[in-house]
Amino acid sequence: MKSTGLISVAAAALVATIAGVGGTLPVVLAAAQAVGATPDQASSWVSGLGLATAASALLLSVRYRMPIITAWSTPGAALIASTAGVPNFAAAVGAFVLAALLILLTAAVRPIGRLIEKIPASIAAAMLAGILLRLVMAMVEHVPTSPLLVLPLIALFLVARAFFPALVSLIVLVAGASLAWSLGLVKPLPPIGLSTLVVTAPVWDIATLIGLGVPLYLVTMASQNLPGFAVLRGSGYQPPTQPILVVTGAASLGTAFLGAHTSNLAAISAALCTGPDAHPDPAQRWKAGPFYAIFWGLIALFGASLVGLFGALPPALLATVAGTALLGSTAGALGIALAGDQDRLAAAGTLAVTVSGVTLMGVGSAFWGLVFGLLILGIDRLTKARR
- Amino acid 146 reads S
- Amino acid 114 reads R
Packed helices 121-141 and 365-386: angle between N→C axes, nearest 10 degrees: 140
Q: Are 33 and 310 in contact (CB under 8 A)?
A: no
Could you report the per-residue pLDDT of 130-139, keeping only the tens digit for each? 877 877 888 8
The band of 1, judged by pLDDT with boundaries at 50, 70 and 90, is: very low
CB atoms within 10 A of CB 191: 6
Say how far apart CA 91 and CA 83 lie, in whole Å: 13
Q: According to the model, what pLDDT value does residue 363 have? A: 62
Strands 70-72 and 263-265: antiparallel
Mean pLDDT for all residues in the chain: 84
Q: Are 39 and 311 in contact (CB under 8 A)?
A: yes
Question: Is the predicted pLDDT of residue 44 greater than 80, yes or no?
Answer: yes
CB atoms within 10 A of CB 148: 12
Q: What domain range includes position 269?
A: 2-386
Of these ranges, 93-97, 277-281, 327-331, 359-363, the one predicted with the greatest mean pLDDT is 93-97
CB atoms within 10 A of CB 290: 16
DSSP class per residue in 70-130 = EEE-HHHHHHHHH------HHHHHHHHHHHHHHHHHHHH-HHHHHHHHHS-HHHHHHHHHH
The band of 166, judged by pLDDT with boundaries at 50, 70 and 90, is: low
Could you report the per-residue pLDDT of 280-312, keeping only the tens digit for each? 788 888 888 899 999 899 889 887 787 777 778
Number of domains observed in the structure of the chain = 1
- Amino acid 311 reads G
